[in-house]
Amino acid sequence: MSDADVRDALQRFYEAMNGHEVAVVGELFSNQRQVLIIGTGGPWSIGRDAAVGALAEQFEADPAVRFEAGDMTVEEHGDVAWVAENPRIHLADGTVVLCRHTAVLTREDGAWRVAQSHLSVPEE
């Protein structure tokens, strides 16, 4: 497998988030017990159910927000890959926010799944 497979997995993750497809987002998370989602503020979401729940709340609170993947740096070692990128978040008022995103993915049953994700907004 190539790093294109990892990029594709994250692109599917963003597409599911943009479509508010909670069940699909859940399927794209790792089956590992300690899935971890970290944002700029608020508590960490630890565990798959907590991560899916946090994103579902976000979809409800900000239904017009859209994520766009940035240039990715991808490294892969066996069944673990890590990514660093600068995605854009498009807000309802037209504002575009450049972010920082790092993620760790694990290959499970032949598919890359998000095990850890940290998205933050850098200080200006």
Q: pLDDT tens, 33-44?
A: 789 999 877 789
Give the per-residue pLDDT at 123.
78
Instruction: Please report, as a single letter, which amino acid is at residue 51.
Output: A
Q: 3-120 has which fold?
A: Nuclear Transport Factor 2; Chain: A, (3.10.450)
Q: How confident is the model at residue 58 (pLDDT cuts 50, 70, 90)?
A: confident
Token pair belonging to 118: 């940290």
Contacts of 95 (CB under 8 A, 6+ apart): none
Q: With 0.95 as the threshold, say if the pTM is over it.
A: no
| Residue 91 DSSP class | -
- Is residue 4 within 8 Å of residue 110, measured between CB atoms? no
